Amino acid sequence: MKNRTVFKKLIPYLYRYRYKFLFMVFLAIIGNVLTLIGPYLVGKAINQIHIDMDRENFIFLGKISLCLLFTYIGGAFLSLTQNIKMNNISQEIVNAMRQNAFKKMHKFPLKMFNTMAQGNIMTIVINDIDNISSSLSQIGTRIIVNLLTISIALAIMIYISPSLTLIQMILVAISGFFLKKITKKSKEKRRVQQKFLGRLNSYVDEILTGQAEVKSFSYEERAINKFRELNGAYKENAIKAIFFSGFNFPTLNFINNIGYSLIIFTGAVFMLQGKINLGELSSFIIYSKLFNRPIASISEAYNIIQTVLVSSERFFGFMDLPEDDEGGDRELDLSKVQGNIEFKDVNFGYNDNSPVLKDLSFKTKEGKTVAIVGPTGGRKDYNS
């Protein structure tokens, strides 16, 4: 299933909360503006500090400090409000998804449960939907906020020093090249991880359901060994998936630290040449951090989106499975039912290629018990 198709199928679940999303975007814009005012005020404060400070200088610094306190407290409060509301929305979306999945499950033909492992169904209905929930709550309005932060911070950085901004942009391009390779590999590994989780859940469900048989045939040791094998396979694939997804932040952090060193060195040279003052350089460094942080966050969000896509592919693939369109609509007049039962040329199979019953015919009278017996997979004998 293509990413575009997955997003189209997700839209109906997200659309009903569009006004709440818009409200959160509004809060995010205000909080973002408050956060971006901070570095500008820091630069002003640094330029105000000198050896022969008088009373007016201290009053001015006090005002700046109060403004900084207001911006940081306001930004933190708005961020907390966004997170709480986004968690509520994500849980409502997941609740709707899980209800739809459970209803869908009751519309499947019997052959579907014979061909699709119950543990895999449980993984989709529980684990995959939980992945979508946690991912949505983590992403929320993060991408919109981060894009806004990047745009405003970049504009201010260009205003302060186009040359220093050019250094920053070159480093961002290098980071993007590496991250593109990493995220592609990470998505592939996460898809395999979810597949192995489905197998593990299927086996656990099978053993729990058949505990009486397990104990009767002394199958405990073999069941433990089989579980150890499946659990080990899942662990290996999970480690690979986490390994690639964990590359994003260290890669960005390493390149960003190199960037800060270059910016500080180059900025010091510009200060000696009179092209920039200490307050502007300080503000630029802070804006550079604010610029890099959302890029790292978007990279992390992109990795989370891969989890959403993988889990959504499985969920919507499950929802697109064919339903049982036979039977269930006819009403029986029980007043005309007699005690005798007759089967005549009955054919049955979970799929067309492997019939279970073929041309079965028999009669049984009222009060008699009929059984079709035989070992699993073997031919059955009719007894009455």
**pLDDT at site 41:** 78
pLDDT band at 141; cut points 50, 70, 90:
low
Q: Which of 25-34, 277-286, 322-331 has the lowest mean pLDDT?
A: 322-331
**Which residue segment(s) compose the domain that 77 sits in?**
3-319
260 in the same domain as 126:
yes
List the beta bridge partners of residue 382.
Answer: 372
Contact by Cβ (8 Å): 309, 187: yes
Give 215-224 pLDDT, tens digit per residue.
777 788 888 8
pLDDT tens track for 151-183: 888 888 888 888 888 888 888 787 777 777 676
Q: Measured between alpha carbons, how far is 251 from 246 in angstroms, rounded to an integer?
A: 9
Residue at 116: amino acid letter: M
Residues 343 and 308 in one domain: no
Name the least confident of 113-127, 238-252, 327-341: 327-341
Instruction: Read off the pLDDT band of 332 (50, 70, 90).
Output: low
For the cut 80, the answer to whether the pLDDT of residue 225 exceeds it is yes
For the segment 367-377, the average pLDDT, to the nearest whole number, is 68
Q: pLDDT confidence of 352, banded at 50, 70, 90?
A: low
Residue 326: per-residue pLDDT: 57
Is 202 in the same domain as 85?
Answer: yes
Split at pLDDT 50, 70, 90, the class of 130 is confident
Residues 361 and 295 placed together within one structural domain of the fold: no
- How confident is the model over 249-255, as a mean pLDDT? 71
Considering the domain architecture, whether residues 152 and 274 belong to the same structural domain is answered as yes
pLDDT at 304 over 80: no
Task: Return mean pLDDT, the chain.
Answer: 76
For residues 350 and 209, membership in a common domain is answered with no
Residue-level pLDDT at 375: 60
% residues pLDDT > 90 (the chain): 0
Please give the pLDDT value at position 241: 74
CA-to-CA distance for 44 and 53, rounded, in angstroms?
15
pTM (global) more than 0.75: no
pLDDT for position 17: 80
Confidence band, pLDDT 50/70/90 cuts, at residue 283 = confident
Q: What is the pLDDT of residues 69-97, one digit of tens each?
A: 888 888 788 878 877 887 788 888 888 88
Instruction: Look at residue 233 and tell me if it is in a domain.
Output: yes
* pLDDT confidence tier of residue 249, bands split at 50, 70 and 90: low
Average pLDDT over residues 204-213: 76
Do 361 and 257 share a structural domain?
Answer: no
Give domain status of residue 61, yes or no.
yes
What's the pLDDT score for residue 58?
Answer: 79
Tell me, yes or no, whether 287 and 350 share the same domain.
no
CB 25 within 8 A of CB 38: no
CA-CA distances (angstroms) from residue 256 to 116, 140, 347?
A: 48, 25, 69
Could you give the number of structural domains in the chain?
2
Determine, yes or no, domain membership for 307: yes
Q: How confident is the model at residue 110 (pLDDT cuts 50, 70, 90)?
A: low
Choose one of 287, 319, 351: the last residue of a domain: 319
The answer to whether the CB of 49 falls within 8 A of the CB of 61 is yes
Q: Looking at the structure, do residues 367 and 278 belong to the same domain, yes or no?
A: no
- 3: pLDDT strictly greater than 70: no
CATH number for the domain that contains residue 47: 1.20.1560.10
Residue 264 and residue 188 in one domain: yes
Determine, yes or no, domain membership for 220: yes
Quick: pLDDT tens for 47-70. 777 667 777 777 877 888 888 888
Q: How far apart are CA 200 and CA 192, in angstroms?
A: 13
Write down the pLDDT at residue 248.
Answer: 64
**352 vs 357: which has the higher pLDDT:** 357
Confidence (pLDDT) at 334: 65
pLDDT at res. 244 = 67
Which of 141, 138, 98, 137 lies closest to 121 in space, CA to CA?
Answer: 98
